[in-house]
A and B are shown apart, each in its own frame.
Chain A
Amino acid sequence: MKFFLNGKEKELVGDQWFLSEVLSCLDQMEAHVAVALNKSFVPKSCYKSQEIQEGDFLEVVTPHPGG
Chain B
Amino acid sequence: MWTLLDKKINKRLLLGTSQYPSPDVLKRSIVESGVEIVTVSLRRTGPKEGSGFWNMLKGLPLHFLPNTAGCHSVKEAVTTAHMAREIFQTNWIKLEIIGDDYNLQPDPFALLEGAKILNEEGFEVFPYMTDDLVLAEKLVAVGCKILMPWASPIGSGQGILNPFSLNTLRKRLPGIQLIVDAGLGKPSQAAQAMEMGYDGCLLNSAVSQALDPVGMACAFSSAVGAGRQGYESGLMEVRESARPSTPVVGTPFWHGEKHE
Task: Write the residues of chain A forming the contact surface with B, with a CB cutoff of 8 angstroms.
Answer: 6-7, 28, 30, 32-36, 39-41, 43-44, 59-67
Contacts and interface: CB of A to CB of B under 8 A. Distances in A.
Given A33-B87, A41-B82, A44-B86, 17 more contacts: A6-B45, A28-B45, A34-B42, A34-B87, A36-B79, A36-B83, A43-B86, A60-B45, A62-B45, A62-B50, A63-B40, A63-B53, A65-B19, A65-B26, A65-B40, A66-B17, A66-B41
Interface of B: 16-20, 26, 39-45, 49-51, 53-54, 57, 66-67, 69, 75-76, 79, 82-84, 86-88, 154-155, 204-205
The residue among A6, A34, A59, A60 with the most chain B CB atoms within 10 A of its own CB is A34
Nearest first, the 9 closest Cβ-Cβ pairs linking A and B are A66-B41, A67-B16, A34-B83, A41-B82, A67-B204, A63-B54, A65-B18, A61-B42, A64-B43
Nearest to B38: A66
Contacts of A65: 16-20, 26, 40-41, 53
Contacts of B67: 66-67
Contacts of A33: 45, 87
Given A41-B79, A61-B44, A64-B43, A30 B51 contact: yes
B44 A6 contact: yes
A39 B40 CA distance: 20
A59 B45 CA distance: 9
B53 A64 contact: yes
